[in-house]
Amino acid sequence: MDMDGVLVHEEHLIPGVDVFLQELRDNDIPFLVLTNNSIRTPRDLHARLSRTGLDIPETSIWTSALATATFLGNQRPGGSAYVVGESGLTTALHDIGYVLTDSDPDYVVLGETRTYSFEAITTAIRLVERGSRFIATNPDATGPSRDGLLPATGSVAALITRATGREPYYVGKPNPLMMRSALRAIGAHSENTLMIGDRMDTDVVSGLEAGLRTILVLSGISTKETVELYPYRPTLVLESVADLIGKTTDPFA
């Protein structure tokens, strides 16, 4: 399941989530929390969720930063990268042995941050122009906040693309790579796994492309009206995960 818009809004618990997660545990149903937000490490996210009243272990959290690091570690072990992002991304790359540098890096890696620097973006543009491969953690153009939408990685990636003519490779949702790694993490198969998310353009489409049934909850970004704009549909649309309480063993009954 996705995190922001499904479990929490910023620092606020979405009503019923704690009961829903406890029911999953009581029924021995494994789950993984996925987030395209690369700002925080799993440890940070565990602490953040704990403050809202949710006890989700680090091992049950999979971020686009971790997926990106796994991808780069397989593609070019021991490589180098110039990173525009925060600790979730830099820590993940350090953990796979990457050197972070602005001197002829193998990759420019763009992630989420609330403090995008014009200087850092300019450096990224110049490095991509010189031949560094362009990677972005996720294509989300916006993210939610209590005050409204925020520009996210996809918007800044578009700026770099417009300046360089180079499109990034997006690792996070809706890339099926992230979904397949999540399935492996909980030892699951697509036939008996579902994806719960609040966005049609990332959560639902990534679940569909990975062969999962999908549930869209209306507690985040997408609305009943925006659902109709897409050529694909979720298996089920609910107001929130609270509607799954009592139905976790057979959500589509």
Active-site residue 2, yes or no? yes
Amino acid 31: pLDDT = 95
Closest CA to 21 of 9, 10, 7, 34: 7
Average per-residue pLDDT for the chain: 93
Amino acid 144: pLDDT = 65
Asked if 112 contacts 152 with a C-beta cutoff of 8 angstroms, the reply is: yes
Residue 6 sits at the vertex; the CA angle it makes with 169 and 41, to the nearest 5 degrees, is 55
CA distance between the termini of the chain: 19
Amino acid 13: pLDDT = 93
Percent of the chain exceeding pLDDT 70 equals: 99
Helix (H, G, I), strand (E, B) or coil at 35: strand
pLDDT for 169-225, tens place per residue? 999 998 988 888 888 888 899 999 999 999 998 899 999 999 999 999 999 889 999
Indicate if the pLDDT at residue 146 is higher than 80: no
pTM: 0.88
Indicate if the pLDDT at residue 145 is higher than 80: no
pLDDT for 68-114, tens place per residue? 999 999 999 999 999 999 999 999 999 999 999 999 999 999 999 88
Reported confidence tier of residue 253, pLDDT bands at 50, 70, 90: confident
Reported confidence tier of residue 250, pLDDT bands at 50, 70, 90: very high
Amino acid 184: pLDDT = 85
Amino acid 131: pLDDT = 97
DSSP class of 115: S
pLDDT for 7-21, tens place per residue? 998 788 999 999 999
Reported confidence tier of residue 147, pLDDT bands at 50, 70, 90: confident
Amino acid 180: pLDDT = 87
Which one is catalytic: 4, 106, 140, 201?
4
Amino acid 182: pLDDT = 87
Q: Residue with structure tokens 């679940």?
A: 207
> Rounded mean pLDDT of 39-48?
95
Distance CA 101, CA 108 (A): 10
Reported confidence tier of residue 27, pLDDT bands at 50, 70, 90: very high
Asked if 192 contacts 115 with a C-beta cutoff of 8 angstroms, the reply is: no
> Rounded mean pLDDT of 25-50?
94
> Rounded mean pLDDT of 127-152?
88
